[in-house]
Amino acid sequence: MIQEYTDELNNFVQDALKGVHTIVPGRVTSFDADRCEASVMPCGKFRLPNGKPLDYPLVTGVPVWFPVGGGAAIAYPVREGDGCLLLTSEVSLELWRSGTDLGADLRFDLTNAVALVGLPAKPNPLVRESAGLGAVMIESGGARVTLLPGGVVEIAGAVTIKGTLTVEQDLIVRGQSHLNNS
């Protein structure tokens, strides 16, 4: 009898958890940079109470997370097909963004998710190179900035400096140097 009770309780809990979403991988289908929101197709399937598998629905109006704080920000392009993680919030993100009461209960609901863009389905070769060098690397369109151990910064690609350039130690130029005083 105890075993039957335990089994029934376990089945009840498992059924209740089927509707709980925490983190789901997905693919960006579109991105609105003005609103910083994406439409995301979650990957995988969920099961109905009768066991039938269904594809997840498209989730629209998903806020996209970018590192921002202390007056600094990092932004990068978000494109259709980019991999991401959908993280569900325990409070209404829409209400939080508008600054109103957070009382709505949308816990673990995919309509209340944030997208963290940058989850590749396959390994990115830049990660292996970065790990091998022990460096922070940023790459886009053939340009690359590498922050190496020992305070060395390498920049590959054309560099335009808008503002004052101050050099406090030696300046070494290899190749041609042109000054334009216009």
Position 161 in a domain = yes
pLDDT the model gives residue 129: 92
The structure's pTM equals 0.75
Whether residue 141 sits in one domain with residue 98? no
Whether residue 110 sits in one domain with residue 34? yes
Q: Cα 23 vs. chain centroid, distance in angstroms?
A: 12
Whether residue 63 sits in one domain with residue 17? yes
pLDDT the model gives residue 7: 74
Position 78 in a domain = yes
Q: What is the mean pLDDT of residues 154-173?
A: 92
pLDDT the model gives residue 93: 79
Whether residue 20 sits in one domain with residue 71? yes
Whether residue 74 sits in one domain with residue 22? yes
Q: Of 83, 117, 151, which closes a domain?
A: 117
The number of domains in the chain is: 2
Whether residue 96 sits in one domain with residue 30? yes
CA dist 182 and 162 (Å) reads: 15
Confidence of residue 47 (pLDDT cuts 50, 70, 90): confident
Q: Of 100, 117, 134, which closes a domain?
A: 117
Give the three-state DSSP class for 127: helix
**What is the per-residue pLDDT across 66-124, written as a single tens digit (0 to 9) for each?**
999 999 999 999 999 999 999 988 777 777 777 776 566 666 677 888 999 998 888 88
Q: What is the mean pLDDT of residues 149-166?
A: 93
Question: What radius of gyration do the chain's Cα atoms show?
Answer: 24
CATH number (domain holding residue 23): 2.40.50.230
pLDDT the model gives residue 105: 63
